[in-house]
Amino acid sequence: MNQWAFVIGAYALTFSGTAVISILSWRAMRSAEARARQLADRA
Amino acid sequence: MHRFANPARFLKIVRPLTAWLFWPGLILLLVGAGCGLFVTPADYLQGDTVRILYIHVPAAWLGMGGWTGIAVAALMQLVWRHPLAAVAGRAIAMPGAFFTAVCLVTGSIWGRPTWGTWWEWDGRMTSMLVLFFLYLGYIALANASARQGNGGVSPVTAIFGLVGAINLPIINRSVVWWNSLHQGPSITLRGSSIDNALLWPLGFTLIGFTLLFAAIVLMRMRAILAQNKIEARMQRLARG
């Protein structure tokens, strides 16, 4: 197999995984903070 | 450190800090990866596969650094009862496990063309795999204690985090103590055995990934703190 196939595979896995964990963390933070704000406004 | 024990004061600092860490981290990472892929020369022996270095080394650093963070947070939780330490430990676990997995997978991909095998049960690879399993155990314990309502991790989970740190010097010294397919320490305090022509983008990806990791940990801490606030308010509303 071409050496670049290994390099591209490693980079693709790392960058897609990093993007997924960043987006999931950001979404969890945004939704939790929005809900906390909503509840604070209601109280 | 106790100055930041108040979640409100902590949040006032980390709200802008999250973006300040994330965006420069992403830019440094993209610059380093781009240079590592397209600017640096191929290695005379390993060829183009040496470019995996720029993601494999930062992943190893963050996998081990993440557990160091968990151990420090555990110590602060157990000794000084710092209220945010338990939250920090829980927030570090998932990204730490992720980067340990990245280190194992990219190492395996690098090993196939270089050593002729995807995996070898030698000291370095096995101790890194043990670290990954330690993370999974810590996450399971942390989730179980979070369900008990404190948002952070229980003292038992903190003790697990502290005891698990014994694996870190084993990982570090494994290539010295045992015969291994893995190369010996190539970057030490005394310098590097890697030529500068290949080495320089590693600084960019190392700092870039570290800043991103810190931003992800802060996002997860903010999510846990907001969740704590929601649960406290819901309990108050339920009580009337």
Given an 8 Å threshold on Cβ–Cβ distance, is A7 in contact with B37?
A: yes
| Average per-residue pLDDT for chain A | 92
- Is A40 within 8 Å of B233 when comparing Cβ atoms? yes
Q: Is residue B97 part of a domain?
A: yes
Q: Which residues of A touch B103 (CB under 8 A)?
A: none
In this structure, is residue B9 part of a structural domain? no
pLDDT, residue B1, reads 60
> B109 touching A, CB under 8 A?
yes
Q: Which of B33-42, B69-78, B79-88, B94-103 has the lowest mean pLDDT?
A: B79-88
How would DSSP label each residue in B114-169? HHS-S----HHHHHHHHHHHHHHHHHHHHHHHIIIIISS--HHHHHHHHHHTTHHH
What are residue B82's phi and psi, to 5 degrees? Answer: -65, 125
B209 in a structural domain? yes
Q: CB neighbours (10 Å) of residue A39? A: 17
Question: What is the longest distance spanned by two Cα atoms in chain B?
Answer: 73
What does the alpha-carbon distance between residue B183 and residue B168 come to, in Å, rounded to a whole number? Answer: 18
Q: Does A33 touch chain B (CB under 8 A)?
A: yes
Spans of chain A below 70 pLDDT: 43
| Distance between CA atoms of residues A7 and A38, nearest Å | 46
Closest CA to B66 of B112, B102, B111: B102
Q: Which residue of A has its CA nearest to B220?
A: A25
Number of structural domains (chain B) is: 1
B210 within some domain = yes
Q: Give the range among B25-29, B86-90, B228-232 with minimum mean pLDDT.
A: B228-232
CB contact under 8 A, A39 and B219: no
Q: Phi and psi of B43, rounded to 5°?
A: -75, 145
Pick the residue of B48, B99, B213 with the most A CBs within 10 A to test the interface with A by mutation: B48
Mean pLDDT of the residues in chain B: 90
State the Cα–Cα distance between residues B110 and B18, nearest whole angstrom. 33
Q: Is residue B15 part of a domain?
A: no
A13 at B interface, C-beta within 8 A: yes
Model confidence at B238: pLDDT above 90: no
Q: Across-strand partners of B187?
A: B192
Could you tell me if B151 and B87 are in contact, meaning their C-beta atoms sit under 8 angstroms apart? yes
A42/chain B closest Cα distance in angstroms: 10
Q: How confident is the model at residue B189 (pLDDT cuts 50, 70, 90)?
A: confident
- For chain A, say whether B81 makes contact (Cβ under 8 Å): no
Contacts of B110 in chain A (CB under 8 A): 6, 10
Q: Exposed e or buried b for every residue in B132-153, given b needs 16+ CB within 10 A?
A: bebbeebbebbeebbeeeebbb
User: Which chain B residues are within 8 Å of A36, Cβ to Cβ?
Assistant: 226-227, 229-230, 233
Q: Which one of B95, B102, B230 has the shortest CB-CB distance to A39? A: B230
Q: What percent of chain B has pLDDT over 90?
A: 65
Residue B2: inside a domain = no
Residue range of the domain that includes B80: 54-180+199-231
- Helices B85-115 and B53-75: angle between axes, nearest 10 degrees: 150
Three-state secondary-structure class, residue B191:
strand
Average pLDDT rounded to a whole number, residues B207-223: 97
- Interface predicted TM-score of the whole assembly (ipTM), two decimals: 0.94
* Cβ-based contacts of A21 with chain B (< 8 Å): 94-95, 98, 216
Can you give the pLDDT at residue B3?
Answer: 63
Q: Would B157 be classed as within a structural domain? A: yes
pLDDT beyond 90 at B17: yes
Q: Which residues of B touch A9 (CB under 8 A)?
A: 109
Find tokens 């890194």 and name the residue: B128
B16 located within any domain: no
Tell me how far apart the alpha carbons of residues B69 and B3 are, in angstroms, rounded to a whole number: 19
For residue range B137-155, list pLDDT tens digits in order.
999 999 888 766 566 778 8
Answer yes or no: do B223 and A40 touch at CB < 8 A. Answer: no
CB proximity B61 to A under 8 Å: no
Measure the CA dihedral B233/B10/B6/A24, to 10°. Answer: 40
